[in-house]
Amino acid sequence: MSQVRNPVDVLIRRLDPEVPIPAYGHPGDAGADLVTTEAAELAPGERTVLPTGVSVALPDGYAAFVHPRSGLAARCGVALVNAPGTVDAGYRGEIKVIVVNLDPRESVRFERFDRIAQLVVQQVEKVRFHEVAELPGSARAEGGFGSTGGHAAVDGSTGGNGYASVGADREGQ
């Protein structure tokens, strides 16, 4: 039997009287859509900070993450410069979205109340750092950045054919 957890209550303030409260598109969605309250047009490569017209008070132990929308990314090349943006529990200012137009040719235009990003609220751990001279061993040790193979080297080497390739990462290779 599937278990449905109770939603977490989050206080929200509208900074624009007409702005819609962030809403989940479907019951199982992780992100509630955020809109821009200002129209904007971005030339190829241009970025801007868009206001969402809302501020929130997250419960202690939670954070909200401003994620891109895949449709905007796929259709228009719109990305979030700092994806995912982090909204701290103590932040009471307006949530803003730092968008960039990565399309090399087309401008992109946002109208007021277009959905531009989605807000994912999550519980986050607070840690205490304990300084040590040596860390405990692990199977991965210091390997990273393609150490398991398949990627072009991060130093810019392309394996001799002039093209960076991720082909060897496909299954069965």
Q: Using the rule CB under 6 A, which residue among 15, 79, 98, 102 binds ligand DUT? A: 98
CB nearer ligand DUT, residue 55 or residue 151: 55
Quick one: which segment of 27-35, 39-47, 90-98, 149-157 binds ligand DUT (CB under 6 A)?
90-98
Total of residues contacting ligand DUT (CB under 6 A): 10
Strand ranges inside 76-147, DSSP E: 78-80, 85-87, 96-101, 108-110, 115-123
Nearer to ligand DUT by Cβ, of 55 and 112: the residue is 55
Q: Which residues lie below 8 Å from residue 15, measured CB to CB, with a gap of 6+?
A: 37, 51, 53, 54, 55, 94
Q: Say whether 13 counts as a known binding-site residue.
A: no
- Residue closest to ligand DUT when measured from CB atoms: 85
Write down the least CB distance from residue 86 to ligand DUT, Å.
5
Tell me if 135 sits within 8 A of 42, measured CB to CB.
no
Selection from 5, 4, 22 nearest residue 13 by Cα: 22
The answer to whether 94 and 52 are in contact (CB under 8 A) is: yes
Helix (H) or strand (E) holding 1: none
Among 95, 99, 100, 108, binds ligand DUT (CB under 6 A): 95
Q: 11 vs 8, 71, 81, 85, CA distance in Å?
A: 10, 28, 27, 19
Does position 122 interact with ligand DUT (CB under 6 A)? The reply is no
The reply to whether 82 sits near ligand DUT by the rule CB under 6 A is yes
Residues flagged as binding site: 69-71, 82, 86-88
> What residues make contact with ligand DUT under the rule CB under 6 A?
66, 82, 85-88, 91, 95-96, 98
The annotation places the binding site for substrate at 69-71, 82, 86-88
